[in-house]
Structures are given as structure tokens and as C-alpha cells.
Structure 1
Amino acid sequence: MMTRRVMLGAAACAALAGCGSKFKSYDGPEVTRVVVMKSQRRMYLLHHDKVLKDYRVDLGFAPEGHKRQEGDGRTPEGRYVIDRRNPNSEFHLSLGISYPNTKDVEVARAAGQSPGGDIFIHGRAGKHRGKGRDWTAGCISVKDREIEDVYAMVRKGTVIDILP
């Protein structure tokens, strides 16, 4: 009798642990493009020209204009690709953006600066909740439960257009 209770309790704990995972699965249409509209603070996941999901986003602490150099607090503008996935992100989960591109590097170097890097779409990871709008160093942030969906839907190599 005691063994049966222990086994049922262990099975229930295992089932509940699976429900709490930050890793979700997705079997819908492929996300072929991500579009971020900075002025609207919106991110759209698209399958060709059809919006699959959209999210409110926070940006860099200086959101106006294109990122020019490391530490300027701006979110880049232009066409990039999702080039890496970080399941162990300090910000819950994150998807890397291929900033800086060749032109970004040239512009920054011409000004005697570093273009910076490590631009991601990421969550808030609890400790960043309540920071208000546009708090990142240049990244694109959504809520933790939303980055779980984005992480499941968006693959490495997906185009991301970040527009003013």
C-alpha cells in the first residue's frame, strides 16, 4: 500500500514537472520572417505574408535611431538573421540576432568605435520585471511566457527585419 502511494506521488510529481518546462513544442506553419516595428513597439512572427503571432516589445533604453556603437542603448535597424539560440540565457531564453553586419562594422570603425554585439530577442527572467519600457541595452524583450513561444516557433536562419 505504501509503495503504491509513493509510486503514484512520484508519477504525479514527474507529470507536474513536465508542465513547468520553459521548452515548448510547435507544429504550426513555419515562421519565415520576424518583423519588429520599433515605433509601434511590436514584433510580428510571419509565415510569408500571414501574421502568426504578434507581441508588444521593449527595446534599448535609447530606442530612436539605428545602433551605431557599443553602449549607445539603441536597437539596430535593418535586415539580419537569427543566428543562434541560447537555452541558458540570463534572460530566460534568447535568440541571437546577426548584428553587427559588415556595414555596421564599417560605420562604427569609421567613427573610431566598436559596433557592439550580443543583440538578442529575449525574456525578462523575473529580475527584470517592472523595469518599465525600453530598458535593454539594445535587445528586443518580451515576457518570459512569450519568449517560450517565440523560441519554439523561430528557427536559426530566420530573417528578422527591424524597422524604425
Structure 2
Amino acid sequence: MMRTVSRLGVTLMAVALNIAAFSLAQASSPQPGQPEDAAQAADLVVVMKSERELYLYRDGLILAQYPIALGLAPIGTKRMRGDDKTPIGAYTLDWRNPNSDFHRSIHISYPDAEDQSRAAELGVSAGNNIMIHGQPDYDDRPRSGDWTHGCIAVSNTAIDQIWARVPDGTPIHIYP
């Protein structure tokens, strides 16, 4: 009887240790949408449309800078679906798509309530699915100039780096 209890105790202890080890590994490994190295994580993304540059900031210091392409009609802010403009304003990077047609993509929280209200006044849809993304996976033609339908495009190397350093929930400020 004592041996059975002993074996059961050892088995339960082994199961408990495995659960604890698994939980610790899960807690220490980055979750989807979280950077691998928190010290290198950006706390703000800034886009300067006129400069065609995207900046990653942490604590007010620039961590990285990337050239970008914008919507086909880059001057001004997005007003409605199909206008090919990139929005201007303060938004949040709120979710990501690892299976994007554009290598990888991170969603910008456009439209906000003000964007939707402005579009409603015009009797149109504000549009949606504005992303920071890489190059198209469906072909390998080189692209130059502004070519998106309102998104912010970067190189595939750049989106991989941005993906690794920008957690979900990071603010993005897009300036003219």
C-alpha cells in the first residue's frame, strides 16, 4: 500500500513539475503581437507621409527608420473607401495578419469615430483594412513610388523588423 501511494505521489509530483515548466515557458516566450526583446520594443510609430518615412520610437528616441510607399493619391487624408489615400491622424496598431497577401501586415485602427462620422456626412463608407505591410506575395514585380490603395508599404525585411519590435496596442501617428 505504501509503495502505491509513493508511486502515485511521485507521478503527481512529476505531472505538477511538467505543468509548472510548461507555464513558465509560455510566460517567458513572446505571445503573438508581442516583441521578442521588450527592451527593443517600440512604444510609438510615427509616419511622415511627405518624407515617405516610418519611425519606431521608444522613450522618445528613434529606434529605427524605414522608407515607405503610400496610397496612389498620397496628398490629404483618407475620406472614403476607394479614394486611394492614406489616413492622417492618431490611431492604434491593433492586430496583425501573418498570412497576408503582402508578406505580413499590421492593422491600423482606421476608421475611428471621427472618420466614420465624416464619411457618414458625405453619405459614403470610410473604408477599412488600412495596414502597414510588406511587398505582395502574389508576384515579384519591383514596385516604386506610391502604389497602395491607402496602406503603408515597406520592404519585406522592414515589415519583419517592425513585426518583431512593435507590440499590438502601439500608437501610430500619421502626419501629412
> What is the CA RMSD across the aligned residues, in angstroms?
1.4
SS at match of 2:120: helix
Counterpart position of 2:175: 163
Larger gyration radius, structure 1 or structure 2: 2
Q: What amino acid does structure 2 have at the position aligned with 1:61?
A: L
1:30 deviates by 2.4
Number of residue pairs matched by the alignment: 141
Give 5+ residue unaligned stretches, structure 2: 1-34
Looking at structure 1, the residues matched to 114 and 68 of structure 2 have their Cα atoms a distance apart, in angstroms, of 26
Q: Of 63, 72, 84, which residue of structure 2 is paired with 1:73?
A: 84
Is the helix fraction higher in 1 or 2?
2
Counterpart position of 2:99: 88
Q: What amino acid does structure 2 have at the position aligned with 1:103?
A: E
TM-score (norm 1): 0.82
Q: Runs of at least 4 residues of structure 1 off by over 3 A?
A: 24-28
Q: What amino acid does structure 2 have at the position aligned with 1:149?
A: Q
Describe how 1:1-164 pairs up with structure 2 within 5 A: 25-126=36-137, 127=139, 129-164=141-176
Counterpart position of 1:10: none
- 1:145/1:152 CA distance change after superposition, 3 Å: same
Give 5+ residue unaligned stretches, structure 1: 1-23
SS at match of 2:163: helix
1:130 deviates by 1.8
Identity among equivalent pairs (%): 44
